[in-house]
Amino acid sequence: MGKDRVSVDEGRVADTADTNEQAGPEPLSVTRTDADGVTVVTVTGEVDHHTSGALRRALAPADPDGARTVADLSGVPFMDSSGINVLIAAHQAHAPGGWLRLAGVRRPVLRTLEIVGLTPLLACYPSVEDALRG
């Protein structure tokens, strides 16, 4: 194997010398469902300045008085400061009578939340089921 080749996925080889393309971020997918009066927002993909608008719209409560939302972030491998800002705004939009809970937060995203001091503000649960139970 030459120095310009990188082995990936069980022996398949990607040639990095012939192209300047870089692997792009995962496209963002956001879905909303209802679970006994709680909105569950399932997010898959990277949250950055290009995709954070979709997350902002999905986390905005239709009726902020008493809104309860669980954001399932188990499919989010990366979140930049744009995503952090969305979570802060969503938390504020749910106050004072409602709540926003995070579920399935992956370690890299959780570490970012910890560094910026949001874990005391945003409750994180291992799963959606745990977040629904509170």
Tell me, yes or no, whether 107 lies in a domain.
yes
> What's the number of domains the chain is made of?
1
Tell me, yes or no, whether 121 lies in a domain.
yes
pTM for the complete prediction? 0.80
Tell me, yes or no, whether 20 lies in a domain.
no
Domain of 67 in residue numbering reads as 27-131
Query: What's the pLDDT tens digit per position in 6-61?
Result: 323 333 333 334 434 445 566 899 999 999 899 999 999 999 999 999 999 999 99
Tell me, yes or no, whether 113 lies in a domain.
yes
CATH number, domain of 79, equals 3.30.750.24
DSSP structure string for 53-105: HHHHHHHS-SS-TT-EEEEEEEE-S-B-HHHHHHHHHHHHHHTTT-EEEEES-
pLDDT value for 15: 38
Tell me, yes or no, whether 48 lies in a domain.
yes
Tell me, yes or no, whether 3 lies in a domain.
no
Tell me, yes or no, whether 13 lies in a domain.
no
